[in-house]
């Protein structure tokens, strides 16, 4: 830590190399809300648990009375850190203070904290600061800088007049001093994760940056500090991007459909799904930070912990393909994703959807493959052959792991043309970011399923009648038959407006169908879109070669027509 009196160089950014190498992290949402399990006065709230105080409009005094009984006596920093390390995570970020205003650390700035306000009396952050290094983990803190539903003047509490007041009073009296405490009392802090900046001023964001830099010059600050003054980018909640990004960034995800513990949410993503998501993020150049929500006793739910251990088996075996991996040099592949070693001598092919014919095809790859093998499964090599510009790797008949990673040792510089490849037996998605657009736009659509449970879709929107189109050029190494599937949302006004998909010489018309919309049930959010899959018909690609797939409306589209998420060429199942 630096001397307080030193002048602070706000232009000096911390070294982000450790962050870039880490790739996989544990996010922890934990506070008194965990003790309610998402139930208040006998009513079950579905959706994110840490928002219970707001959703049930609990007066600050009543919530504080509940918080005063918070006693997570089974909390073990060592067990949490051991689990994170076993899963293959490299750092932990824990809620030091969430929107409920309750500090999960001993704070001189506010007595409303776990050590002074509850029978528990311990400081979990101090215990984690000790445990994490023992397990090779770094530690970072989440801090809700604008929203504080307990402090007078804190942002976000529109239901309890008792906390109305001056924001500056809260900001100067609680927020800044608590950030100072976090930066002073816990040794090296790897990063600070601010959240929901709301209308916070640039001056206030910079004040926080200044505080962090003064006390911990190497502590990274995420983008949710607001006003564009963070060191790295946090994407939207539960957002896994389709496109590669440069710079330092992370996807943040939930294990079930909440951040804070909710006793009735059992919708755990499987270890296979978690690894798929981790791989997708790493292949695009980012970090994957997965949240767990410990319960009111301080235990990580057993179902969540068991799944994380399964993830650990995979990350350990496939470590070389994840940690410090470079993003994919290849375009989207229907069987999965690719990462590369930083020296460019190895490519890691993450086979997320195992080809039924046991052949992994890479079209348009230039360079020499010296050796192909299943990563972490001994020295046995796989046969590599070339055919009509495509590289084929003979896979073991049964997938040796899910997902299987194939490592290619390559000589010299590998390159790949960026054109998408369509392969039989696999789902070939055509995604909005890679389309050529004429008189329509690429947009993003986000909505909640349950409260706070965000979903995101890249979409093609704002179609301008028959002159507008989206197209993708692709190549295929062989003839094939595919279902042509659309995934889209359309409003009533678009119902019946015909579109046409052309692939080579084939033209398939289809009617846009109203998919309906859902009342968001949240003030100021209007209606959420609903998406549907629509099968337009079967497309035959008569031979190997290059094709263009184009979609367009045939009539004027006053309401913007469809929000198109994906066009897919999907396998046509056959009898045997």
Minimum CB separation of residue 54 from ligand FHN in Å reads 9
Cβ-based neighbour number of residue 136 at 10 Å:
12
Minimum CB separation of residue 142 from ligand FHN in Å reads 7
Nearer to ligand FHN, 185 or 196 (CB): 196
Instruction: Select the residue interacting with ligand FHN from 100, 195, 231, 257 (CB under 6 A).
Output: 195
Minimum CB separation of residue 392 from ligand FHN in Å reads 42
**Binding segment toward ligand FHN, per CB under 6 A, in 47-55, 114-122, 509-517, 547-555:** 47-55
Nearer to ligand FHN, 281 or 347 (CB): 281
**Binding segment toward ligand FHN, per CB under 6 A, in 17-25, 43-51, 264-272, 394-402:** 43-51
Minimum CB separation of residue 95 from ligand FHN in Å reads 7
Instruction: Select the residue interacting with ligand FHN from 48, 290, 549, 551 (CB under 6 A).
Output: 48
Minimum CB separation of residue 369 from ligand FHN in Å reads 41
Chain center to CA of 137: 21
Nearer to ligand FHN, 448 or 551 (CB): 448
Instruction: Select the residue interacting with ligand FHN from 148, 160, 181, 237 (CB under 6 A).
Output: 237
Of 216, 251, 247, 253, which Cα lies nearest the Cα of 231?
A: 247
**Binding segment toward ligand FHN, per CB under 6 A, in 45-53, 302-310, 365-373, 432-440:** 45-53
92 binds ligand FHN (CB under 6 A): no
447/67 Cα distance (integer angstroms): 31
Is residue 333 within 8 Å of residue 421, measured between CB atoms?
A: yes
102 binds ligand FHN (CB under 6 A): no
Reduced to 3 states (helix: H, G, I; strand: E, B; else coil), residue 210 is helix
547/538 Cα distance (integer angstroms): 16
Beta bridge partners of 250: 234, 287
Structure tokens at 547: 């094709």
192 binds ligand FHN (CB under 6 A): no
Minimum CB separation of residue 152 from ligand FHN in Å reads 21
**Helical residues (DSSP H) of 171-270, grouped into ranges:** 176-184, 202-215
203/211 Cα distance (integer angstroms): 12
Interhelix angle 271-283/302-317, rounded to 10 degrees, is 50
Reduced to 3 states (helix: H, G, I; strand: E, B; else coil), residue 352 is coil
Consecutive H or E run containing 85: helix 77-87
73 DSSP assignment: T
Nearer to ligand FHN, 31 or 336 (CB): 31
Give the number of residues in contact with ligand FHN, rule: CB under 6 A: 8
Q: Which of residues 258-317 bind ligand FHN (CB under 6 A)?
A: 259
Is residue 501 within 8 Å of residue 550, measured between CB atoms?
A: yes
Interhelix angle 77-87/124-134, rounded to 10 degrees, is 40
Nearer to ligand FHN, 50 or 204 (CB): 50
Site mask for ligand FHN (CB under 6 A), range 118-137, x = bound: --------------------
Nearer to ligand FHN, 236 or 399 (CB): 236
Cβ-based neighbour number of residue 240 at 10 Å:
17
Nearer to ligand FHN, 50 or 458 (CB): 50
Nearer to ligand FHN, 87 or 93 (CB): 93
Instruction: Select the residue interacting with ligand FHN from 14, 34, 50, 553 (CB under 6 A).
Output: 50
Task: Report cis status (omega within 30 of 0) of the bond before 366.
Answer: no
174 DSSP assignment: I
Is residue 224 within 8 Å of residue 28, measured between CB atoms?
A: no
Q: Provide the binding-site residues for ligand FHN, judged by CB under 6 A.
A: 48, 50-51, 195-196, 237, 252, 259
């Amino acid at each position: 830590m630096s001397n307080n009196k030193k002048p602070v160089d706000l232009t000096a950014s911390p070294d982000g190399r450790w962050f870039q190498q880490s790739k996989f992290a544990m996010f922890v949402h934990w506070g008194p809300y965990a003790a309610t399990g998402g139930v208040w006065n006998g009513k079950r709230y579905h959706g994110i648990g840490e928002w219970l105080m707001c959703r049930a409009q609990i007066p600050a005094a009543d919530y504080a009375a509940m918080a005063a009984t918070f006693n997570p006596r089974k909390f073990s920093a060592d067990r949490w850190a051991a689990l994170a390390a076993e899963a293959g995570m490299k750092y932990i970020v824990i809620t030091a203070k969430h929107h409920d205003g309750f500090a999960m650390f001993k704070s001189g700035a506010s007595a409303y904290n776990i050590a002074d306000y509850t029978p528990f009396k311990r400081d979990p952050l101090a215990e984690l600061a000790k445990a994490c290094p023992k397990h090779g983990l770094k530690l970072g803190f989440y801090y809700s800088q604008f929203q504080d539903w307990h402090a007078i003047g804190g942002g976000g509490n529109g239901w309890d007049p008792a906390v109305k007041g001056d924001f500056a009073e809260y900001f100067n009296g609680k927020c800044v001093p608590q950030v100072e405490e976090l930066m002073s009392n816990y040794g090296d802090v790897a990063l600070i994760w601010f959240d929901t900046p709301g209308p916070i001023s640039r001056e206030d964001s910079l004040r926080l940056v200044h505080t962090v830099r003064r006390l911990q010059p190497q502590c990274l600050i995420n983008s949710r500090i607001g006003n564009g003054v963070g060191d790295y980018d946090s994407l939207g909640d539960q957002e896994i991007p389709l496109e590669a990004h440069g710079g330092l960034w992370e996807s943040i995800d939930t294990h079930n459909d909440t951040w804070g513990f909710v006793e009735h949410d059992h919708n755990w993503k499987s270890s296979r799904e978690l690894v798929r998501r981790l791989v997708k993020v790493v292949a695009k150049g980012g970090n994957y930070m997965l949240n767990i929500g410990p319960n009111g006793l301080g235990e990580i739910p057993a179902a969540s912990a068991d799944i994380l251990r399964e993830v650990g088996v995979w990350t350990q075996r496939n470590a070389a393909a994840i940690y410090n991996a470079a993003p994919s040099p290849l375009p989207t592949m229907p069987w999965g994703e690719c990462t590369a070693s930083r020296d460019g001598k190895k490519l890691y092919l993450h086979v997320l959807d195992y080809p039924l014919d046991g052949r992994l095809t890479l079209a348009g790859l230039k360079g020499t493959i010296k050796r192909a093998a299943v990563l972490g499964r001994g020295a046995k090599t796989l046969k590599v052959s070339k055919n009509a510009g495509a590289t084929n790797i003979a896979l073991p008949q049964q997938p040796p792991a899910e997902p299987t990673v194939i490592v290619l040792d390559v000589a010299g510089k590998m390159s790949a043309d960026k054109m998408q490849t369509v392969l039989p037996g696999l789902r070939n998605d055509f995604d909005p970011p890679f389309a050529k657009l004429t008189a329509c736009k690429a947009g993003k659509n986000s909505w909640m399923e349950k409260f706070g449970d965000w979903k995101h879709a890249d979409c093609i929107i704002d179609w301008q009648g028959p002159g507008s189109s989206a197209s993708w050029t692709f190549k295929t190494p062989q003839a094939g038959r595919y279902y042509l599937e659309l995934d889209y949302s359309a409003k009533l006004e678009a119902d019946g407006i015909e579109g046409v998909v052309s692939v080579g010489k084939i033209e398939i018309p289809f009617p846009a169908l109203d998919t309906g919309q859902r009342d968001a049930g949240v003030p100021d959010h209007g209606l959420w879109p609903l998406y549907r899959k629509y099968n337009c018909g079967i497309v035959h690609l008569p031979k190997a070669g290059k094709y263009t797939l184009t979609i367009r409306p045939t009539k004027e589209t006053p309401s913007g027509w469809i929000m198109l998420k994906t066009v897919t060429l999907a396998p046509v199942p056959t009898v045997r």
